[in-house]
Amino acid sequence: MQDKINRWLLDNALAHHPDQQALLNDNEAIQAASACQGNDAEKLAVFADHLKVSSQLIAVIDDYRRCFDMARIVFWLVAFLVGASSAFALLTATANHVNLMSVTLFCALLPMFSLCLWLGVSLLRFGQSDSISGGMLGRLVNAATHLLSKLMIAANTAPSVHQNAVFRAGRQWVNPWQLSLLTHSSWLFFSLGALLGTLFRLSFYQYDFYWGSTLLDSQQIAVFVQISFALPAALAGIPLNADLIASAQLDQSSIQTDRAVWAQLLLMSIVVYGIVPRLAFIALSQVKLRQSLKNLPDNYAYPLFRQALKRIKSLSEQSQQPMLAPRYPLPADRAAHTGANTIASIGIELDQSDRWPLIKEDTVKDLGHLINSQQYQSALTALESLEKPVDVLAFCSYARSPDNTTLKRLRNIQDIAEGRVLIVLCEQAIAESHQVDIHSRLIDWQTRAHEHALALVDFDCSHKVNVNDVLNAAEREQQT
């Protein structure tokens, strides 16, 4: 169930991510999904997992779930301590004389009154989509969760758009049955604390019990005791008669010492009114919660996933058909290298940048390996100092898609060089390890290179290469 919840939170956060177009343009995710042999839902799950933003979203989701668990544990602990400390306080308020009225009202009947209030609110809302009341404690836990999440994620490097997307998904996931489960479990821990606190005090201290009230007389107290203790007495097998009740009245000259009977009834009342009903409603809430999680909104029906599925299916159909890469002739003045031209090389975001330069010959001018715009400007400065015309071998990786920025920069380099730029596609093995469809990626590069009047050749650069081998391969590429 935990994995399913994380799956839903991730998909929902992606479905409502503000930068939808950037997600759809993640070619690596589209290609990974198209390689999946499963059904549409499995393909979309692969697409979501391989998006570049997914790793950051998953980190935020983990923080959110961790905060939810922390808030739940804190509330359970507080409820337990409140119940135990209340029992201790009520049993030590008047030395060894204990007023059963106050102990019973607070430790046994207060949880039952809270349960009746919850049922009443739920019945008033019957017929609405969220007719079950989450309960005040459940809503407090939910509010604390969001507060803790914001405090913890404030130190996280994830962008705020990712955090907001996860918080939005979390609000849909935390439904009324989730809050109901938190409410009943918190009251359960309160009753457990009261039961254990009372049991501890009764086990190690001797008390005299009496029923006392400023507003109620003896007859009214007797009615109250008969009504409130009828079920606990029946379950405990203790006859609740008038003599037993009368013996524990405050106006008696001597307090009846039948302590064990009243101690058993007190403990049984906490179990009957505080623990058993909450266990039943926790079980009900758990069953309804599982059902509600199965009926969460279908994230794959959102526009992002519908459009992604179209692209995935389109790419899958293309890969199933034999398809030749198009051949684009270059302009005549840039179709081939002439021996008089200066030759330079440049690397574009290669994974194995530590192997740069890839050309064996020292005569080839090295313009550097480009990662950022500052290095690009340095390469332009170095290129302008060379004798024109210059032919530039631009080594690019199969692992990278042909983005507009890279192609515009290469076209600018070609204009300054007054020669030609030859894109040398390499690192095929690295791309395959990332599950990139090499054939589709080659077509993408050839199409975009043609749009910018750039030459392209596929070449094995797993070791340092000879410049003439690269140029000869490019000429053969143009002739075929």
DSSP string, 137-206: HHHHHHHHHHHHHHHHHTTS-S-HHHHHHHHHHHHHHS-HHHHHHHHHHHHHHHHHHHHHHHHHHHHHS-
The predicted pLDDT at position 127 comes to 53
Kindly state whether residue 415 falls inside one of the protein's structural domains: yes
Kindly state whether residue 230 falls inside one of the protein's structural domains: yes
CA dihedral 90, 92, 94, 98 (to 10 degrees): 60
Kindly state whether residue 219 falls inside one of the protein's structural domains: yes
Q: Facing residues of 426 across strands?
A: 397
Q: Which of 398, 73, 100 is nearest to 264 (CA)?
A: 100
CATH number at residue 446: 3.40.50
Q: What is the length of the chain?
A: 480
Structural tokens at position 446: 């050839």
Q: For residues 366 and 378, what is the distance between their CA atoms, to the nearest angstrom?
A: 12
The answer to whether residues 214 and 89 belong to one domain is: yes
Cβ(390)–Cβ(342) under 8 Å?
Answer: yes
The answer to whether residues 279 and 350 belong to one domain is: no
The answer to whether residues 124 and 270 belong to one domain is: yes
Cβ(281)–Cβ(288) under 8 Å?
Answer: no
Q: Which among 301, 320, 341 is the end of a domain?
A: 301
The amino acid sitting at 235 is L
The predicted pLDDT at position 257 comes to 45
The predicted pLDDT at position 133 comes to 54
The answer to whether residues 225 and 287 belong to one domain is: yes
The answer to whether residues 262 and 354 belong to one domain is: no
Cβ(348)–Cβ(395) under 8 Å?
Answer: yes
In the chain, the number of structural domains is 2
The answer to whether residues 251 and 358 belong to one domain is: no
Kindly state whether residue 317 falls inside one of the protein's structural domains: no
The answer to whether residues 268 and 408 belong to one domain is: no
The answer to whether residues 206 and 80 belong to one domain is: yes
Q: For residues 17 and 304, what is the distance between their CA atoms, to the nearest angstrom?
A: 9
Kindly state whether residue 423 falls inside one of the protein's structural domains: yes
Q: For residues 418 and 20, what is the distance between their CA atoms, to the nearest angstrom?
A: 39
The predicted pLDDT at position 187 comes to 92
Kindly state whether residue 350 falls inside one of the protein's structural domains: yes
Cβ(40)–Cβ(204) under 8 Å?
Answer: no
The predicted pLDDT at position 419 comes to 85
Q: For residues 79 and 187, what is the distance between their CA atoms, to the nearest angstrom?
A: 7
Q: Which domain holds residue 404?
A: 332-479
The answer to whether residues 344 and 206 belong to one domain is: no
Q: Which among 283, 301, 319 is the end of a domain?
A: 301
β-pairing, 421-426 vs 208-210, is unpaired
The answer to whether residues 191 and 294 belong to one domain is: yes
The answer to whether residues 241 and 361 belong to one domain is: no
Please give the backbone phi and psi of residue 223, each rounded to the nearest 5 degrees, phi first.
-65, -45
pLDDT tens across the length of the chain (480 residues): 456 778 888 888 888 787 778 888 888 888 888 888 778 888 888 888 888 888 888 888 887 788 778 878 888 999 999 999 999 988 887 667 788 888 888 888 899 998 888 888 777 766 554 545 555 666 676 676 667 666 665 555 556 666 677 767 766 666 777 788 888 998 999 999 999 999 999 888 888 788 878 888 878 888 888 888 889 888 888 887 777 777 666 444 344 447 788 888 899 999 999 999 999 999 998 888 888 777 766 777 778 888 888 888 877 666 554 444 444 444 444 444 445 578 899 998 888 778 888 888 888 899 988 888 888 888 888 898 888 888 899 999 888 888 888 888 888 898 888 888 899 988 888 888 888 888 888 888 888 888 888 888 888 787 788 888 888 877 777 765
Burial class (CB in 10 A: 0-12, 13-18, 19+), 206: exposed
Cβ(397)–Cβ(349) under 8 Å?
Answer: yes
The answer to whether residues 141 and 252 belong to one domain is: yes
β-pairing, 97-99 vs 342-348, is unpaired
What are the strands, taking DSSP E only, across 349-480? 365-370, 390-397, 421-426, 455-458
Q: For residues 426 and 469, what is the distance between their CA atoms, to the nearest angstrom?
A: 14
Kindly state whether residue 241 falls inside one of the protein's structural domains: yes
Kindly state whether residue 86 falls inside one of the protein's structural domains: yes
Query: In this structure, how many other beta carbons lie within 10 angstroms of the beta carbon of residue 460?
Result: 12
Query: In this structure, how many other beta carbons lie within 10 angstroms of the beta carbon of residue 219?
Result: 8
Q: For residues 467 and 8, what is the distance between their CA atoms, to the nearest angstrom?
A: 52
The predicted pLDDT at position 118 comes to 82
Q: Which among 301, 323, 351 is the end of a domain?
A: 301
The predicted pLDDT at position 322 comes to 42
